Amino acid sequence: MISVVIPTYNEEKALPYTLRTLFAQPGEFEAIVVDGGSSDETHVVLSNCGFQCPSPLMPHPSRRLLEAVKGRASQMNTGAQQAKGEWLLFLHADTVLPYGAIRRLNEMEDDQTVQAGGFMHQFSGDDWRLRFISFLDNFRCTRSRIIYGDQALFVRRTLFQELGGFPDQPILEDVAFCERLIKVTNPLLLHPPVVTDARKFVKMGIWRSFVRVLLIILHVEYRLPVLPRMFFQDVR
């Protein structure tokens, strides 16, 4: 079984489509949403989709809603602690899996040569600038095997636990975890890609977002000084 862990914070706009496409996936999985204190209609969206907090009458429903301190590392670690699946798949609230992804991971459960992986990436829409950003990101990932959070990282639950989960840091927790991950395994990169809603990039400004991505890549690849927290400001 696959445990899909989705961290949320004020994701009322993108979350409905992400959940609809997830629940249309064939295969065996559970969905665990971990909210970081949303103040918008995120909880309404989740309630309408059948998510509920665990209870004595239903301790392990297939759609669970948990709460955690805001921050992707904290939220994803909380979800992983409650997961029951062989695979943990960490899915951003604005990212959509390709059809058949869950069943494909189900089929790999017994293949111990695969311990972790992720998907190639693209943005929604057809703006050439966004396609170019995805091209650069995919090139970087193919070269480094460092999987970013919006690439739907998946890892065996036992290996995730052995590596200590995501480090307790406010930014780039996905990069820090993958730096440990690639020391023990070679993550698999799958096609077709996941698709991330381009709304946030468009709202911030595509060229500004492009420069931001380049700086993050340079920061990770060449160990440049730590980027300021404001560089990772929330865009909703």
pLDDT digits (tens, 9 = 90+) for 10-24: 999 999 999 999 999
Whole-angstrom distance, CA of residue 65 vs CA of residue 60: 11
Query: In the prediction, which pLDDT does 84 show?
Result: 94
Q: What is the mean pLDDT of residues 136-150?
A: 91
pLDDT digits (tens, 9 = 90+) for 156-198: 999 999 999 999 887 789 989 999 999 999 999 999 999 999 8
Query: In the prediction, which pLDDT does 210 show?
Result: 75
Query: In the prediction, which pLDDT does 62 show?
Result: 85
Ordered domains of the chain (ranges, CATH): 2-124+146-197 (3.90.550.10)
> Any idea which residue has 């993050």 for tokens?
216
Whole-angstrom distance, CA of residue 149 vs CA of residue 7: 11
Q: Which two tokens stand for residue 103?
A: 């069943």
Confidence band for 223, pLDDT divided at 50, 70 and 90? low
Query: In the prediction, which pLDDT does 220 show?
Result: 62
Cis peptide preceding 192, ω within 30 of 0: yes
pLDDT digits (tens, 9 = 90+) for 31-79: 999 999 999 999 999 988 888 766 555 545 689 999 999 999 999 999 9
Query: In the prediction, which pLDDT does 65 show?
Result: 94
